[in-house]
Structure 1
Amino acid sequence: MRVWGAGKNSRALQADLLSKAVLPWGCATDSSYPCPKDVRTVIDYALTHGWEPGLTGGTFFLSESEHASAFELADFLLTDRLRDEGAPDPTTRVFRAFDENASAAAGGPP
């Protein structure tokens, strides 16, 4: 997801999101897209963590390595895998998030 707060020449916000959906064949790309509420949450978090949209040029990345421990959406995780092929495989995090959501939905401990 990329957001420009002050036009195309402003500093972009980039958050590479991975769906938490677990499909019958495992963790894979599905057809999930962030909704406006997700976009607002990403923007609010980025603004409180250093994104200055009015600056000219460059990109502010919400990276997994810097932000994943403090930031997560209900249906998406941050991933660095799209920009860095050496980044950790997010499959374990997706399965853990799926299990936590399933447990919470069933009324059990996360």
Structure 2
Amino acid sequence: MRTRLRQMRIGARIFVWRAEIRHVLGSRDCHRCIRLRVWGAGKTSQALQADLLSVAWPAPWGACTTDGTYPTPADVRAVIRYALEHGWQPERQGGTFVLTEHEHGSVFSLPDFLLTDRLRTPESADPTARVIRAYELRQEA
């Protein structure tokens, strides 16, 4: 299956991005996770990567396949702007700038997503408690 690349203009720069649906296992269920990759100066430029954990809850086992949460263009724009403010250099050749839960998770989130390291590092923090906490905070608002 071919991966669809999308374009977005921010100021004078055009960014190309893709989002792949994946999943991560937590202690209590399966969570939908979207791997977002963005390029700002061609395919050989430094890529931006963010693994976005859906905060849809309560979710039965297997919800990663039925959860329809997907990043909107506004979500992608927010990720790009945050990354540019925190060290991403899209004009740099090669490599990947990763927005990690460990470094950025306490200050960056989106209405429907949290950053997660679980997709890259299976032994990282269990996402279930964070998803439940985010869901409860949304209910209080």
TM-score (norm 2): 0.71
Q: Which runs of 5+ in 1 are unaligned?
A: 105-110
The count of aligned residue pairs is 104
Instruction: Name the structure, 1 or 2, with higher relative contact order (CA <8 Å, separation 6+).
Output: 1
Does 2:43 correspond to 1:8? yes
Distance 1:27 1:74 in 2: 22
State the partner residue of 1:82: 119
Distance 1:24 1:7 in 2: 38
Distance 1:26 1:74 in 2: 22
**Structure-to-structure mapping, 1:21-100, within 5 angstroms:** 21-25=56-60, 28-29=63-64, 30-100=67-137
Q: Which has the higher helix share?
A: 1
TM-score (norm 1): 0.90
State the partner residue of 1:107: none
Q: Which runs of 5+ in 2 are unaligned?
A: 1-35
Deviation at 1:28, TM superposition (A): 4.0
Which amino acid in structure 2 is aligned with residue 11 of structure 1?
Q
Deviation at 1:32, TM superposition (A): 1.1
Where do 4+ consecutive residues of structure 1 move more than 3 Å?
A: none
Q: CA RMSD in A?
A: 1.4
Aligned partners of 1:27 and 1:91 also within 8 Å:
no
Which amino acid in structure 2 is aligned with residue 40 of structure 1?
R
Q: Which has the higher strand share?
A: 2
Distance 2:62 2:135 in 1: 10
